[in-house]
């Protein structure tokens, strides 16, 4: 699939996997519609994307948790940006690492609002246009945590299990249309994920990756790009990827 001048909408594009994905598509000459909560960081990604060859960048300050804001953002896109070809539902986070029965309800709500409801709001706003136009590809960012829960992460794991099933259900609902649906499910990726989970505690976040060579954001971006670039009749349903130091969400090999 030639991505030159295709419109690629990426949520959570200001850092990590979202930013890496933006840069990967930029190098293909795509037009990037980037959304995130951190406008300053998003501007940096947009500038770098243009340097790498993006055919254009349009950035929107958006929190996917806000349903009305999501719909308004899509409805008010300039005409030249409205016909989205690829949607990458990347926005997501984890908060805390607590036992379910002692967990913080505010943390649960933030994870569910972002990882599940935010993905649904964006999908509901974008996919109808894809169906009408007879083209499109939805890529949802899942996790190995959606296949196998780990201790003290029940709600995050549950939210990613929901992404997996929503992804599969959407693919079934779109049967008979040319719109493709893919779930990309990485294991441990060294981004700001753990820093966000532990609310800025850098020392605690660093321990997550101790002795392990994790995936990089670029690795996941390359998997997304590969899935999207398949011929139009090929739908990659799920991609599960980990580093060689990880077997699943529970089993890791850590070097001394």
Q: Which residue has the tokens 């960081």?
A: 41
Is residue 156 annotated as part of the catalytic site, yes or no?
A: yes
Q: Which residue has the tokens 């958006």?
A: 62
Interacting residues of 141 by C-beta distance below 8 A, sequence separation 6+: 17, 88, 89, 90, 92, 163, 183, 184, 186, 220
How many beta carbons lie within 10 A of that of residue 173, not counting itself?
A: 13
| Catalytic one of 101, 121, 150, 156 | 156
Nearest-CA neighbor of 6 among 228, 155, 206? 228
Contacts of the segment 102-107: beta carbons below 8 A, 24+ positions apart: 103/154, 103/155, 107/155
Q: Kindly list the catalytic residues.
A: 156
């Amino acid at each position: 699939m030639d991505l030159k001048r295709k419109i690629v909408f990426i949520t959570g594009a200001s850092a990590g996997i979202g930013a890496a994905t933006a840069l990967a598509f930029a190098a293909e000459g795509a037009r990037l519609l980037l959304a995130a909560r951190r406008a300053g960081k998003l501007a940096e990604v947009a500038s770098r994307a243009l340097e790498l060859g993006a055919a254009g960048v349009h950035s929107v300050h958006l929190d996917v948790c806000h349903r009305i804001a999501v719909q308004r953002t899509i409805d008010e896109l300039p005409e030249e940006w409205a016909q989205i070809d690829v949607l990458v539902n990347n926005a997501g986070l984890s908060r805390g690492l607590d036992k379910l029965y002692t967990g913080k309800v505010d943390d649960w709500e933030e994870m569910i609002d972002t990882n599940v409801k935010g993905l649904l709001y964006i999908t509901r706003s974008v996919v109808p246009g894809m169906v009408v136009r007879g083209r499109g590809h939805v890529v949802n960012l899942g996790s190995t945590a959606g296949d196998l829960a780990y201790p003290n992460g029940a709600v995050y794991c549950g939210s990613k299990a929901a992404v997996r099933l929503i992804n599969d259900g959407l693919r079934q609902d779109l049967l008979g249309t040319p719109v493709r649906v893919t779930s990309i499910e990485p294991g441990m990726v060294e981004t700001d994920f753990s820093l966000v989970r532990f609310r800025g505690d850098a020392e605690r976040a660093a321990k997550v990756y101790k002795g392990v060579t994790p995936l990089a954001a670029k690795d996941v971006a390359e998997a997304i790009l590969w899935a999207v670039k398949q011929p139009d009749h090929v739908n990659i349903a799920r991609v599960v990827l980990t580093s060689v130091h990880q077997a699943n969400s529970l089993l890791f090999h850590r070097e001394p």
